[in-house]
Amino acid sequence: MASPRLSDRTLELLQLQAGLGIGIEHHESLSRLSPAFLEARVQKFLEMAQPAVLSAAKPKLELPGTEDIQNINLKAYEMPPIHGGGHGHSHTHDGSICTGDHGHSHSHDHGHGHSHSHDTHDHGHSHGGEPCEGHDDNEDQEDDDDIDDDDVDDEGSGDDEMVNINPALQMLKHYMSSLTQGIKSAWAQRPLFEGAPRRSIWVLREATRGGKPSTVNLGHDLVLTIGGASTIPSKEGPVPVILLHYAPESPQARKGLWGDTMSMSLPREILHLIEILLNSNTKKCPAFKAVEGVQMGSTAAGFKPSFFVPVSEEHPSKDKIGNLNITKEVIGTLVSCSVCGLLGPDLKCAKCKKKVYCSAACQKKDWKEHKAVCA
C-alpha cells in the first residue's frame, strides 16, 4: 500500500516526533491527523525535558521577581562537552536529522525610530553527531518514506533507565545555549545613548541555504523581546529563568519596537521546537514586570509572555516516551473535528458538550456560527 500523502505541517511534526524518539506506526490515517494533536505530543515531550518544577503538577510558576540577567548565573544553559571531544551535535536540514557544518549569524539593527541594519559576523560551528492553537496546513508534498519507529538511537539505555540526551534535544540545547550566551552578551553592552532601551530584541529566523531563503518556510520565524531573568526552586538549587515576550515575525509584530535588534538563524526544526516550547511555557508564565529600560513586546501586536529554562541533560525514559507513541490503537481513539475534519482528541464545546473540535483554533474559527445554536 502506498504511503499516505501528508501536508507539509503534518510531515514536519511527524519528523520532529521521530527525531525525539516518539514511535510512529505507518498507517493510512496519518495524513488525517490534526497538527494540533501532533504538536501537543511534541509539547508534552518538551515539558518532560525541562526541570521537574515545570511538570503538570505545577501548572503555574511563581517567580520571585524580575532581575537583571547579569545577576543570574546562566551556566546551566551551556552546552556540555560531547564524548569524544569536539562538538558532536546533530543538525536538522529540510526535515531530516543529519550531521554537517552549520553556521548561525548575529546582526545588529540600530533603531532610530526605524531600523538600519548591517551585518556583523558569522559564527560558523561544525557539528556532528491540552490542545495548542492549530495551524493552517500547506499544500501536500511528497510521500513520506522517512518515518520509522527506530529513528532515534537509544544506545546505552536500559529498559527503565534515563538515557543520555538524544540528538534532537542535543540540537535544541546547543542552540538555546548559543542564544542565551548572545542575550547575556548583548545585555551587558551599554545602551546607544542615555535613556535608550537595552539591546533586548531578538529575531529568530530559518537559516538560509547558500545565501538564499528556504524554498519551504512554514512560518516559525519569531520575534523575542527579553524582559529580564528570575529563578525558580528545584532539588538541585535555583534554576535560572529568562523571561521574554514573543510573537511570530511579521511587520505587525515589529511595529512599535525600537532599538537594537539581534538576529539569529536556526534550522527550521529547531525553530519549531522553540516555538512549541514557548507556547507550552506561556501557559505557566505569570505576568511579569520587565527590568527598567527594557523594550517590551506589545500585547496588542500578539506578543505573549513566556520563559526559557535549561533543557535537561537526560531525556525522558522509554516508558514515558512510549506513552506518546502514535499507534493504530491511539489513532483509533481520535475523533473527526467538526470544523477541519482532521483527527484529534475528543474535545467538546464546554457549554453544549456536543460540538467536537481538534483544537482551540478550530473552536474559535467556528464560534461565530456555533454560538447561535449552542445551548
The pLDDT tens digits of the residues spanning 79-115 come to 876 543 333 333 333 333 332 333 344 444 434 333 3
The pLDDT tens digits of the residues spanning 21-32 come to 999 988 888 989
Residue range 188-192: mean pLDDT, rounded: 85
Asked whether the predicted pLDDT for residue 54 surpasses 70, the reply is no
Rounded to the nearest angstrom, the gap between the alpha carbon of residue 369 and the centroid of all alpha carbons in its chain is 32
* Percentage of residues in the chain having pLDDT higher than 90: 29
Rounded to the nearest angstrom, the gap between the alpha carbon of residue 137 and the centroid of all alpha carbons in its chain is 18
Confidence at residue 225, expressed as pLDDT on a 0 to 100 scale: 94
Asked whether the predicted pLDDT for residue 315 surpasses 70, the reply is yes
Q: How many residues does the chain have?
A: 375
Residue range 204-217: mean pLDDT, rounded: 76
Which of 206-210, 236-240, 260-264, 268-272 is predicted most confidently?
A: 268-272
In which band, very low, low, confident or very high, does the pLDDT at 241 lie, cut at 50, 70 and 90? very high
Residues 38 and 14 sit within 8 Å (Cβ to Cβ)? yes
The pLDDT tens digits of the residues spanning 148-179 come to 444 434 443 344 455 577 888 899 999 999 99
Q: Which three cell numbers stand for residue 109?
A: 539593527
Residue range 34-57: mean pLDDT, rounded: 81
Confidence at residue 312, expressed as pLDDT on a 0 to 100 scale: 84
Q: Across 131-196, where does the E strand assignment appear?
A: 163-164
Cα 208 from Cα 204, distance rounded (Å):
12
Confidence at residue 105, expressed as pLDDT on a 0 to 100 scale: 42
Confidence at residue 161, expressed as pLDDT on a 0 to 100 scale: 52
Residues 261 and 36 sit within 8 Å (Cβ to Cβ)? no
Higher-scoring residue by pLDDT: 166, 304: 304
* Percentage of residues in the chain having pLDDT higher than 70: 73
Higher-scoring residue by pLDDT: 372, 282: 282
Asked whether the predicted pLDDT for residue 322 surpasses 60, the reply is yes
Confidence at residue 15, expressed as pLDDT on a 0 to 100 scale: 92
What is the gyration radius of the CA atoms in the chain, in angstroms?
A: 21
State the average pLDDT for the chain: 75
Q: Phi and psi (nearest 5°) for 10? A: -65, -45
Beta-bridged to residue 343, according to DSSP, are 33, 336
Asked whether the predicted pLDDT for residue 77 surpasses 80, the reply is yes
Contacts of 45 (CB under 8 A, 6+ apart): 17, 20, 22, 316, 321, 324
Which uninterrupted H or E stretch holds 335?
strand 335-336
H-state helical runs in 6-109: 8-20, 35-48
DSSP labels, 22-91: --B---GGGGGB-HHHHHHHHHHHHHHTS-GGGSTT--S------B-GGGS--GGGSPPPPTTSS----E
Residues 221 and 281 sit within 8 Å (Cβ to Cβ)? no
In which band, very low, low, confident or very high, does the pLDDT at 51 lie, cut at 50, 70 and 90? confident
Confidence at residue 360, expressed as pLDDT on a 0 to 100 scale: 82
Residue range 247-276: mean pLDDT, rounded: 90
Higher-scoring residue by pLDDT: 318, 279: 279
In which band, very low, low, confident or very high, does the pLDDT at 305 lie, cut at 50, 70 and 90? very high
Point out the least confidently predicted range of 126-140, 262-276, 339-353: 126-140
Cα 94 from Cα 209, distance rounded (Å):
10
Residues 271 and 169 sit within 8 Å (Cβ to Cβ)? no
Asked whether the predicted pLDDT for residue 248 surpasses 90, the reply is yes
Closest listed residue to residue 279, CA positions, set 241, 235, 248: 248
Asked whether the predicted pLDDT for residue 356 surpasses 80, the reply is yes
